[in-house]
Structure 1
Amino acid sequence: MKIELRDISISYGKRAVMQSISLTAMPGDVTAIVGPNGCGKTSVLRAIAGLAGYSGQLLFDGRALDRPPKKSNRSLVSYVAQDSAGRSSLTVLEVVLLGRLATLGLRVTEVDKHVVCEVLAELGILHLAQRFLVELSGGQRQLVFIAQALARNPAALLLDEPTSALDIYHQLHVLEVVRRTTQKRGLATVIVLHDLNAAIRYADQVAVLREGHMLACGKPEEIVRPDVVGPVFRVEMVSLPGAGNYPTLVATGPVHGSQGAASPT
């Protein structure tokens, strides 16, 4: 499913948090949203998920959904919030079954169990099905909540900083799973990231936000460059050769005072 944002603006009361942004997320692609804290990244995800009001056009395969979204419309999009991976006395199987609330009747059917087990196997965590969520590592819990989002068989997946509290191994593992699942299912995946090097490696397109505006959007090699993202984050950056033909950005120090962002050439 293709997601199109056309001149989307978002406000909370009288405070404007996002002004006239346009973005297209294609099926089978990972779109990463990057930018400083408070620039509106989460608000964009919430608007797509139907959890925040907006002006402008939000289209799914060229069609505007009902506002507020009906239950059938919400099932098209699965949103994993930044604080989803909390503690719970439920088992992994039970947590992922909650992702099928829209289809669950008075009791859990064998079909529901089969779908959940397939999703857990797809993400490589079927062996955790009977474990309690509280017993899992941060990376394992994050995969469980992604599995919960996938259990409803969405057309789009929205992830808000899914690697923010994870060690390096689990950051890479989660992002590899997200990219593989996106391609396999043909999802339109939109993910908020702070790690610019992860965006270079795992995203098909990168959108750069600052202070409620979109400053640049395009392929990672065109956008995630020191001259583009350095001014956005107000740091001096250099690009070094990295493994697998991916460059590595290194921040060398802060830039004091105000400095505008450069546009990609």
Structure 2
Amino acid sequence: MTLSVRDLSFSYGDRKILHGISFEAATGEVLGIAGPNGCGKTTLIKCIDRIFEPQGEVEFAGKYLEDMTTTEVAQLIAYVPQALTMGMAMSVFETILLGRRPYIRWSVSDTDIERVSMIIDDLGIQHLAFRSMTQISGGERQKVMIARAMVQDPSLLLLDEPTSALDLRHQLEVMELVQRVSREKQVSVLMAVHDLNLASRFCDRLMVMKEGRVVALGKPSELLNETLIRDVYGVEAMITRQSGFLQVIPVCPVRGILA
């Protein structure tokens, strides 16, 4: 199932945030969205999830999202926001079960319980299942939220900076999980990323944005260079390869350039 975004624009009042965004994401692909703060990454993801109503076309699985009901969208697309709001002290199992809401009619079914148990096993978080969400770490919580998204049985997974505020180990574990979900479940992943080193390692392709526009799109190894980093982020950087992975090393801000 291919995601096709064509000429998508969005404004907050008189302030235009996104300008004519067009791209495609293939089945089983991890497509990263990179760019400086305020470039429109989160807004773009929310437009695709129909949280915002943009101009332009968003087509997925041969259907235009604007013609679909909220339930139909929720059965195709799952969204994991950057800010995880914690309300009641629910268990991990109960939290993941919330992801079945698009399918629950009158009460939770045996199928819903089985799907939650299956996802917990698939993602290797059995040890967390009956712990309280208030008693697990940030990295563990992020894995739980990905599990909650996956129990929707989505074909498209939207992630807003899933490694934000995580330590190095949990960053790697979460990104490995996202990559594994994409490949094994054949789920398309659209992910806002802040860390270019993680993006170059785990994203199949990278879309770079600046001021609400797409300025580059392609494989990270072919895309990321000193000129692009300078023009988009306003930073002098060195691009190296260590252990087969591309690394972006910021050196200093470019004087007189505001990213």
2:89 corresponds in structure 1 to: 89
C-alpha separation between the residues in 1 aligned to 2:112 and 2:258? 53
Gaps of 5+ in 2: none
Unaligned residue ranges in structure 1 (runs of 5+): 261-265
Q: Is the 8 A contact 1:92 1:133 kept in 2?
A: yes
- Using the aligned pairs only, state the percent identity: 37
Q: What is the CA–CA distance in structure 1 between the aligned matches of 2:116 and 2:225, rounded to whole Å? A: 40
CA contact 2:31–2:191 (8 Å) conserved in 1: yes
Secondary structure in 1 matching 2:4: strand
Which amino acid counterpart does residue 237 of structure 1 have in structure 2?
A: A
2:162 partner SS? coil
1:246 partnered with 2:245: yes
Contact 1:88 1:132 in 2 (8 A): no
Please report how far the alpha carbon of residue 88 of structure 1 lies from its aligned counterpart in structure 2 after TM superposition. Answer: 4.0
| Structure 1 equivalent of residue 172 of structure 2 | 172
Q: Tell me the equivalent position of 2:78.
A: 78
Aligned equivalents of 1:143 and 1:239: distance in 2?
Answer: 30
1:191-243 deviations in whole A, cap 9, x for unaligned?
A: 01110000100000100001111100011111122221232110000012211
Query: What is the TM-score of this pair, normalised by structure 2?
Result: 0.96
For these two proteins, the number of residue pairs brought into alignment is 259
Normalization by structure 1: what TM-score? 0.93
Name the CA shift for 1:53/1:27 in 2 (closer, same or farther; >3 Å): same
Asked if 1:182 corresponds to 2:156, the answer is no
Per-residue deviation at 1:84? 2.0
Cα drift, residue 87 of structure 1: 5.7
Match of 2:145 in 1: 145
Q: In the TM superposition, what whole-angstrom CA distance separates every residue of 1:24-47 from its partner, at most 9, and x where no partner exists?
A: 111111000000001100011001
Counterpart in 2 of 1:27?
27
- Distance in 1 (alpha carbons) for counterparts of 2:120 and 2:60: 27
SS in 2 for 1:107: coil
Mapped to 2, the partners of 1:70 and 1:158 lie a distance apart of 16
What per-residue deviation string (whole Å, max 9, x for no partner) do you get for residues 64-102 of structure 1? 123574311332100111112536400000000000012
Q: Structure 1 pair 228/189, CA: closer, same or farther in 2 (3 Å)?
A: same
Could you say what secondary structure the match of 2:66 adopts? coil
CA distance in 2, matches of 1:140, 1:154: 21
User: Is the contact between residue 4 and residue 60 of structure 2 (CA under 8 Å) also seen in structure 1?
Assistant: yes
4+ runs deviating over 4 angstroms: none
Q: How large is the RMSD of aligned CA atoms in angstroms?
A: 1.5
How far 1:172 moved relative to its partner?
Answer: 0.3
